[in-house]
């Protein structure tokens, strides 16, 4: 999809900006809505190549969604904790605490 991509929080459909439809509420005010269900609860999303889902919480720096970043960080922490002795972990935690990196 080119341009901005949206996901409807009501029906879950994903669509591009050109598909937005002009809708009207009960008071006659217009809003851009979902082309499938006409709901106004839509959010801009990006496609995550890692999990294959469209997510609003996309991490531009890592080019994946926040959930995938968290999964990778947690996997790394588990590997480290399972392969080191307690005093080694404590040493690393003390060393990296200054950089906001916590094992």
Q: What is the mean pLDDT of residues 64-73?
A: 94
Read off the tokens for 18.
């050109």
Q: Is 91 helix (H, G, I), strand (E, B) or coil?
A: helix
* Average pLDDT in the chain: 90
- Quote the CA–CA distance of 51 and 54 in Å, as a whole number: 9
| 86-96 vs 66-83: helix crossing angle, rounded to 10 | 140
* pLDDT in the model for residue 77: 85
Per the CB < 8 A criterion, the answer to whether 23 and 33 are in contact is yes
Q: Kindly state the percentage of the chain with pLDDT values over 70.
A: 93
Closest CA to 103 of 69, 80, 85, 87: 80
């Amino acid at each position: 999809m080119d341009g901005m991509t949206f996901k409807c929080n009501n029906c879950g459909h994903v669509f591009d900006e050109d598909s937005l439809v002009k809708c009207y509420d009960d008071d006659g005010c217009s809003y851009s809505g979902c082309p499938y269900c006409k709901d106004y609860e839509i959010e801009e999303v990006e496609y995550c190549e890692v999990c294959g889902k469209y997510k609003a919480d996309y991490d531009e720096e890592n080019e994946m969604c926040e959930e995938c970043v968290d999964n990778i960080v947690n996997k790394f922490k588990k590997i480290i904790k399972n392969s080191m002795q307690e005093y080694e972990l404590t040493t690393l935690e003390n060393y990296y605490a200054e950089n906001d990196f916590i094992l």
